[in-house]
Structures are given as structure tokens and as C-alpha cells.
Structure 1
Amino acid sequence: MENLRVGVINLGCDKNRIDSEIIIGSLSEKYNMTNDPKLADIILVNTCGFIESSKQESIDTILEMSKYKEKYKCKVLIATGCLTQRYGKELLELMPELDIMLGVNDYNKLLSSIEEVLLKKIKIQYCNYSDENINEGKRVLTTATYSAYIRISEGCDNACTYCAIPNIRGKYRSRKMENILQEAKELSEHGCKEIILVAQDTTRYGIDLYGKKSLHILINKISKISGIQWIRVLYCYAEEITDEIISEISSNNKVCKYIDIPIQHISDDILKLMKRKGRKKVITENISKMRKSIKGLTLRTTLIVGFPGETEENFEELKQFIKDTKFDKLGVFKYSMEDGTEAAEMKNQIPEEIKVKREEELMILQQNISKEINKNKIGKIYKVLVDGLDGKTYYGRNYEMAPEVDGTVFFESDKLYNRGEFVKVKVVKALEYDLIGVVYYESCK
């Protein structure tokens, strides 16, 4: 069985990606890995179950992979992750093609489950949830080696009425700081230059283990690791950002002046219905404080439109807030009715066509704001992390750009640059989300 090949397909968020990398790390100790499902004896799909579109993508992917059992080598089809944790036995009954189904805390049973299925030709299901366990272990990066996500906590204690994550991932629990630092050190030793800290809420890191918010302490300790040049922080609750966090981001040269604050809405009426802790006054005050304290700050947020009960007045208030605040980066999601959430039972559900219209309005508004912001960058010089080469054009990111969700810096050069190398680029043209530049000088450290 040691010569069998395994293919892993990851769906969903960056936290799911980390789980997949831990899964690959575990499987690669016994099996050969392959990116081609036609060559795989075992196929594992790590599913997402957050919103309706991601659930459908997960189901479609499982069904697609099930065809490889008929046409190619696949002997064992496995589903793991949020969808399986959320729907358990129901999913196994609906999809008899599956041989193994594991929840989000069952990865330690993966190797023994595969062996049992191969030997006994049976089906196996575990969806046991532990509010103590956090998936940790050897990772095999599926991103480029120079940039990696690190999960600093698992689960969530916030009871947002639209969100199923607490039911899937359990209560909030921080990872031990020494484990995170060891992981960052190992990643650095393998060439990682950019560390991206993620959690359902990074601002609460350490409150359960150390009795106080400790994100600023963690950031400072990571910055002392040789080789790490950029530290990026995602998923901060605006109302939870402390003066200590602001000070650390402002003063620490290794920390990207970039904060992701997914506020979801600004109308107090809707924030109350969502059971969000923050309110408009605190959110706007903290945004103002961050911008005053952190020179060159890039602020990113995500918003939900079409939440049950969202009136035209609520939506207009949100639009005006976007116009006034001028976020550097902004994403918009249509509200998705999720099983088992309070919001799914609320009255005044918004018709889909209104959700679509409101999403489009906000994205057009943000596109114009982004273009104006980018125009002011013409002539500026940025340190750019090279992500690749397309023909004669290099592409990469400056500190203002997180992987996959933000824009890109494009530039041409006769000199050969490697992925993961830093280059200084002068902006000569601005698009809605992307920047075009020229190499300012040969390279930078």
C-alpha cells in the first residue's frame, strides 16, 4: 500500500488550505502524492461549507472525483472539512460514492481509516468534534515557499446570526505561542519571507490562554525570526483592535501596514440584527485612529448586502459610509441563507434580484474609489514581492496587496528575477485594482 498515490483537492478559505497542507504532510509520510487525479489511487476533497455557493462547489467536486473511481485508478474517495462536519451522516447517505468522510478534527484518523477501507472494503465516517483540539503538524505548502499562512487560533465565540462557523469549528481557542513561533521559524528556514496570520478573529488571540489580547506580542516575536520580511494580519475585528496592536503595526518595520477589518455593515440596525459586537461610532472612531497612527495604512474590509430586513435607508447609509471612508480594498458578498443560523429564520428576507443590484452598486462605487486611490500612486516607489513571469511581464505584490484577494503590480525587465525575490518598482500607470510600473533599480533586500 505504500506505493499508492494520493491526490488532495482543497476548496474554501486559507484556513482550509492550512488543514489541507497538514493532511498532505501526514499522507506523504506513507504515500506518494500526485496533482493528477487520473493517477491517484486515493482522492481526498477538503470541502468548504460556509455559504451556499461553496457548498455546491464542494458537492460538485466530490461528484466529479467519483467518476475517477469508474474510469481511472481511484480506489478510495474521501471527503473532509466543513461540509462533512456540518452535514455528517446526511451527506454520506446522499453521496454513496464516498468511502471515507471525516470532520474538521478527525484528521488524526485519516491514515488508519484508509488502511481499513483498503483491507476490509468498508465505508467509514467520523464527524466527532473536539473543542480542545487544533489541527497542527508537519505542513507541505501548496502555496509558493516564500509566502505562507499561519493559523493562530481555531473556532469562534462570536454568535453572528448569519454564520455557521461556530457550529462547524467550535469555540474560540488560541494556539500556543511557542507552537506558532516554531512553525514560523521552520517556514523561514525553508525560504518563507511573508507570513500571513489568520483566524476567525485575530484580534482576540491569546485571550483564552494568556488572559489578555496578545496579538501584538506574537507579531513582535515573529518579527525577530531571521528571514521573515513581511508579516501580514488578516481578519481583525475593528472594534477589538487595541492601541497595542496599532502601535506594533505602526512601529515594526517587518509588519505590512495593511489591516483587514471585515465589518460586514455599518448601519446599527443591521449590525444589531447580525449580532455583531461593533457599532458605527466605535468602528468609525477606530478607523480614524488607525489611519492617524499608521503611516501609509491600507485598509481592507468585506461587506454583506441583502441581509434580512436591510431597508433602502440602511443600504444608502452603507453606500455613504463607503464614499466617506474610501477603503483601499473592499469585497462585497450577497447574504446567503444558511441552515441552522438565526438569520435563516428571520422575517423580511431580501429577494435575490435586490441583493444582486445592491452588490453591483457597491462594487461599481468601490471600483471608482480604488481607481482614484491608485492614481495617487503614480510616481511612487514600492518594494514588490515577485510572484511570477507571464511572457515578458513580471507580476507581484506590494505591501498593500494580500495574495489572491487584492490587486497586482505588473512590470517589465530585461533582468531575470526569481519568484519570491523583492524588487523596487516605480508606478507609471494605475488601473482600477492593479498597478503598472518599471524597475526602479536592480534589486532590493
Structure 2
Amino acid sequence: MRVAVISLGCAKNLVDTEVLLGKLVKGGAKLVNDPSKADVIIVNTCGFIQQAKEEAIDTILDWADGKRKVVVMGCLVERYREEMKKEFPEVSAFFGTESWDQIIQYLGLKEVKSSERVLTTPPSYAYLKVAEGCNRTCSFCAIPLIRGRHRSKPLEDLLEEARNLAERGVKELCIVSQDTGYYGKDLYHRKALVQLLKKLEELEGIEWIRLLYLYPTDVDEELLSYLKDSGKVLPYLDIPLQHVSDRVLKSMRRGYSGSFVRRLLDEVMKNLDNVVLRTTFLVGYPEEREEDFRELLRFVEEGYFHWVGVFTYSHEENTPAYPLGDPIPQDEKELRRDAIMKAQQEITFRKNAQLVGREMDLLVDSYDEELGIVPVGRVYLQAPEVDGICYVEADRPISPGEKLKVKVTEAVGYDLKVEVC
């Protein structure tokens, strides 16, 4: 059986896809990259916001043409299973998240008790998903409806998985979950992220550990103290803040204030040398007035962040914010998003320009997409897929997965040009 899997959405969804790929191979399927050459196409969907839902629906419609069996799984099904069954009669079957074994059974493949993830990332890095679900009650967010309550993976299981990744040549672990800083509270009745990081640092072959998706109130003294002296955990923190206006934050149910945000960022920058900060903001929230947006824009212009992502508010049913309506027109939301991104672009370009002449370590990911001959990689301040990249100039052949010492020679917008030292 030839099977193609299309993975949509975030890195956490990608891990689910990689687990499924491993089970498919162990079950006897042949994986193909080109869906048009498959007997079965499995679409792993995202259902977080309207844009993601539209992408998933378009993908399903593209392939559910009667020429082959199409199976749909993931977040969108978890949220709208019955509606999707009615809307897409051409789809053969629907499965929710973490339904790998049911899919194997449905396809009539061999039963799989254990399997190894099929990595779809470059050889330099892989994602390590430490938990599933979220206990937060943020008013705008549908994740708890889709993924359920927070469930940490046992530390021993994560170490075994990370050890396996290291043995396969992975040098960078990107730690992901819906709420990474909350890791361990459900299993061990206390936060255990630092304990996990200590164990991961002991693994031979792992050289970088990157923390993604830290809730602001979990970036505490214990974590910062550990990061300060860590040899492998990068001084790169992804802390989604969503907003800085007290009024909006309160309505969003974020549990902190704008003054807390500033104190936190000052504390982070005081404790961690050369720290790089990434954050995410949400604009066009129902109760975001013009003055709230202006406050957010001024905050961004203060220059705390190297990288910023901006979402426009998506009006999601059954979330606490849903009764507030969706009073801000989409074009106004997009104007606000663009204003934030324009302000941040200038800051990012300036910060990148200041790196010229600096020597840093770099992990080689692959080759440039255009010609396929120029090596591309990342220094510590660049997370995979979401930040800029480095174009590497070298006088010898360079292989994906290599770690190099490089010198920044030029800043080109979001990206950097470097030469091997």
C-alpha cells in the first residue's frame, strides 16, 4: 500500500505526523512523497484558527477527487467530526488526534506495538514534544477544546526518545508543547522542566537545546538561574505574550499585566547574556480599542524582541471570548498586524546588522531552495522554520548536520550571510 501523509499546522502536529509515519512503515506501508502516486492520502489537519481551517479544507478538497482513498485526521476532526462527515462524503474516514493505531487498523496494516518516528526535518534538528494539551483558560484559544487538558510525558520516556534522536545524528532538540513551562506539574506535582533539561544536557551528541512556547508566568527564577549556567540550552526564549494592554490582557484571561511583562523581560535580559527573544501578539481582539493597539505598537518599538509573530483575532465558537462578538473588521485587523510587523522589521534588520563581524556556531540544515548548491543553516538566534537563516560560504564541501564555526559577513534583511572560520 502506497501512502502519502500531508502534515498541516504547527511543529507539534508535525511530531504526530512523524509518529504516524513510523507506524505506517512498521505496519508494512510504502511511503511516497507525491500524493498523486499514493493509494491512500492521509491529511493531518490543524483547526486552531480560521486561516488554518481554510487551509485544511482546501487541502482535503484538492485530493478528495475519487481517484484514491483520502483519510483525514487531527485537530480539525477533533473539533468538527460530525460536521465534516456530512460536508465531505468523499473522505473515506475521519480520525482525531493521536489516532495512529486506529488508522493502522483501518488501513488493514500489521499491528504495531512500538515504532521509531520517521523524521521529516533536516538531519541537524528534531522536535521533542514534552506534553500534550493545555490547562490555561485564555479566552481566545480553542486548543483546550481540541487537545484537552495538559498531559506531560514521563521524563524517562522523553530521555529514551531524545537518546534515540541523538543516536540518529540529531544535534539540536527543539522542545515543544502547548505549554512547555508547565511540564511536570500533572505528573510530579511541581514544574519539572529544569530537571528534564539537566537530563537532556547529559546526552552525548545533543549540542543545542531550544525552548519554545513558554508561558510568561513560568519563566521564573529557577529557570533563568539554570539557563544562565547551561552549556547546551540556548539563550533563546520563545515567550508568547499576546498583548501588553492591561485591559486586553484581563479580558484575554492571561493572568498577568503589562507591567509584569516589562519586569519579566528586563529580568530575562539582565540574567542571560546575548539572549534572543521571540514572542507572538494577537491583534483585533474584540475588546482591543485603538488606544490598546497603540500601546502595543509603542511597546514593540521599544526593541525587546529579535523576532515577532502576529496573528489577527479569529472568532472561534465555544471559546470564552466568543460571546464578545467580532466587532473589528478583518481589514482593520490586518492593518494592525502589518503595522506591528513593519515596526518589528526595522528592529530585526537593525539587530541583524549589529551581528556583522561576530563569530558564532552554526548548524547546517540543508541547501538553498533556489539552486540547491549553497549550504544554509542557523546560528543560535534562529529557530527552525520561523526565523531567518544563514547562507554559508565555504571553501570545502559542507554537509547537512555539520556544526561549524562561522563569521557573519553581511545582514540581508531577515537572513545572514556567513563564512566558515
TM-score scaled by structure 2? 0.95
**1:137 Cα deviation from its structure 2 partner:** 5.5
The reply to whether residue 112 of structure 1 matches residue 90 of structure 2 is: no
Letter matched to residue 161 of structure 1: S
Q: Is the CA contact (8 Å cut-off) linking 1:266 and 1:321 kept in structure 2?
A: yes
CA distance, structure 1, for counterparts of residue 383 and residue 276 of structure 2? 11
Q: Is the CA contact (8 Å cut-off) linking 2:17 and 2:44 kept in structure 1?
A: yes
CA distance, structure 1, for counterparts of residue 297 and residue 264 of structure 2? 19
User: Which residues of 2 match residues 143-154 of structure 1 at below 5 A?
Assistant: 143-154=121-132
Q: Is the CA contact (8 Å cut-off) linking 1:238 and 1:287 kept in structure 2?
A: no
**1:325 Cα deviation from its structure 2 partner:** 4.1
Query: Equivalent of 1:225, from 197, 203, 210?
Result: 203
User: Which residues of 2 match residues 353-392 of structure 1 at below 5 A?
Assistant: 353-390=331-368, 391=371
Q: SS at 1:410's partner residue?
A: strand
* Match of residue 37 from structure 1: 35
**CA displacement, residues 243-295 of structure 1 (integer Å, 9 cap, x when unaligned):** 12112222111111100000000101011111112221222111111111111
Greater CA drift, 307-316 or 431-440: 431-440
Seq. identity, %: 41
CA distance, structure 2, for counterparts of residue 414 and residue 242 of structure 1? 44
Q: Is the CA contact (8 Å cut-off) linking 1:309 and 1:347 kept in structure 2?
A: no
**CA displacement, residues 85-106 of structure 1 (integer Å, 9 cap, x when unaligned):** 1001110110001111001133
Runs of 4+ aligned structure 1 residues displaced above 4 Å come to none
* Match of residue 253 from structure 2: 275
**1:206 Cα deviation from its structure 2 partner:** 0.4
**1:21 Cα deviation from its structure 2 partner:** 0.6
Unmatched segments (≥5 aa) in structure 1? 117-135, 441-445
Q: SS at 2:242's partner residue?
A: coil
CA distance, structure 2, for counterparts of residue 161 and residue 333 of structure 1? 15
CA distance, structure 2, for counterparts of residue 83 and residue 371 of structure 1? 37
User: Which residues of 2 match residues 32-431 of structure 1 at below 5 A?
Assistant: 32-67=30-65, 69-70=66-67, 74=68, 76-115=69-108, 138-347=116-325, 349-390=327-368, 391=371, 393-431=374-412
Q: SS at 2:85's partner residue?
A: helix
**1:82 Cα deviation from its structure 2 partner:** 0.2
The verdict on how the C-alpha distance between 1:225 and 1:355 changes in structure 2, with shifts beyond 3 A counting, is: same
CA distance, structure 2, for counterparts of residue 362 and residue 371 of structure 1? 14
Q: Is the CA contact (8 Å cut-off) linking 2:315 and 2:326 kept in structure 1?
A: no
CA distance, structure 2, for counterparts of residue 439 and residue 185 of structure 1? 29
Letter matched to residue 411 of structure 1: V
**1:109 Cα deviation from its structure 2 partner:** 1.0
Count of aligned positions: 414
**1:393 Cα deviation from its structure 2 partner:** 2.9
CA distance, structure 1, for counterparts of residue 129 and residue 319 of structure 2? 25
**1:351 Cα deviation from its structure 2 partner:** 1.1
Letter matched to residue 405 of structure 2: K
CA distance, structure 2, for counterparts of residue 112 and residue 267 of structure 1? 50
**1:395 Cα deviation from its structure 2 partner:** 1.5
Letter matched to residue 16 of structure 2: D
Q: Is the CA contact (8 Å cut-off) linking 1:426 and 1:438 kept in structure 2?
A: yes
**CA displacement, residues 336-355 of structure 1 (integer Å, 9 cap, x when unaligned):** 11122122220462111211
* Match of residue 125 from structure 1: none
Q: SS at 2:310's partner residue?
A: strand
CA distance, structure 1, for counterparts of residue 19 and residue 256 of structure 2? 34
Query: Equivalent of 1:24, from 21, 24, 29?
Result: 21
CA distance, structure 2, for counterparts of residue 411 and residue 18 of structure 1? 28
Letter matched to residue 81 of structure 2: G
* Match of residue 133 from structure 1: none
CA distance, structure 2, for counterparts of residue 216 and residue 386 of structure 1? 28
**1:411 Cα deviation from its structure 2 partner:** 2.5
Letter matched to residue 268 of structure 1: D
Letter matched to residue 15 of structure 2: I
Q: SS at 1:96's partner residue?
A: coil
Q: Which has the higher contact order (CA 8 A, sep 6+)?
A: 2
CA distance, structure 2, for counterparts of residue 109 and residue 417 of structure 1? 42
Unmatched segments (≥5 aa) in structure 2? none
CA distance, structure 2, for counterparts of residue 53 and residue 354 of structure 1? 16
Q: Is the CA contact (8 Å cut-off) linking 2:374 and 2:392 kept in structure 1?
A: yes
Q: Is the CA contact (8 Å cut-off) linking 2:303 and 2:347 kept in structure 1?
A: no
Q: Is the CA contact (8 Å cut-off) linking 1:309 and 1:348 kept in structure 2?
A: no
Letter matched to residue 199 of structure 1: S
CA distance, structure 2, for counterparts of residue 144 and residue 328 of structure 1? 24
**1:389 Cα deviation from its structure 2 partner:** 2.7
Q: Is the CA contact (8 Å cut-off) linking 2:393 and 2:417 kept in structure 1?
A: no
Q: SS at 1:217's partner residue?
A: helix
CA distance, structure 2, for counterparts of residue 348 and residue 65 of structure 1? 33
Q: Is the CA contact (8 Å cut-off) linking 1:259 and 1:299 kept in structure 2?
A: yes
TM-score scaled by structure 1? 0.90
